[in-house]
Amino acid sequence: MTQDELKALVGQAAVAHVVPGSIVGVGTGSTVNCFIDALAPLKDQIAGAVSSSVKSTERLLALGIKVLDANEVSSIPVYIDGADEIDHGGHMIKGGGAALTREKIVADLAERFICIADASKLVDTLGAFPLPVEVIPMAATQVIRRFGQAYGGQAQVRAGVTTDNGNVIVDVRGLQITDPLAMEAEVSQWPGVVTVGIFARHKAKVCLLGTPEGVRTLTF
């Protein structure tokens, strides 16, 4: 199966985890687009969606799915989103689509994070995928320097990208993230960092992994 076919497979499988009559959290990215498309026929069976990006909101609305502002919602049963990497403990790197801050906000509302991904995203140690960090523009050089000093990472601003919040993305290469929770806590405290793309505090409870043999369900 192609990578696109695997994404479609897990997007369809994720629909079974949506609680009827509830609000569902919806992430961002190509795999999530497959989930949104699969969710559309059930739009009258849910109360709406909370979206993590402008692009996902546009796709949801185009398919007739009601979108609610996160400020209108106190909690949601499930948040369904992809990952750039996920380890065997459910910790993830996210932010390849530059929506990590809003993704983390929606994840914080959710009782369960369900990650949908193809098998290539499952890794033993996070870090082969460049770690995205949303940064206030005036702090970008300072944050880049600090990653080199603290972790030996090679960081640079992602060219031509501005987040939905008006900030820049710094991508950090050359990392081996052996303690995701500690690194997330540390980097989150650096002045100018809005969000680091380590999802350890908001790790996945379930991963629906697309494999050539079908959908493999991992629980953490």
Catalytic residues, by residue number, are 103
**Residue positions forming the annotated binding site for substrate:** 28-31, 81-84, 94-97, 121
Residue 146 identity (one-letter amino acid): R
Residue 65 identity (one-letter amino acid): I
**Residue positions forming the annotated binding site:** 28-31, 81-84, 94-97, 121
Strands (E), the chain: 23-26, 48-51, 67-68, 76-81, 85-86, 92-93, 110-118, 131-135, 154-157, 168-173, 193-196, 198-199, 206-211, 214-219
Report DSSP letters for 200-215, one per residue: STT--SEEEEEETTEE
Report the distance separating Cα 212 and Cα 149, nearest Å. 42
Instruction: Report the chain's C-alpha Rg in angstroms.
Output: 17
Report the distance separating Cα 176 and Cα 128, nearest Å. 7
Sort strands 131-135 and 193-196 into parallel, antiparallel or unpaired. antiparallel
Residue 14, both tokens: 């994720």
Phi, psi of 91 (to 5 degrees): -75, 145
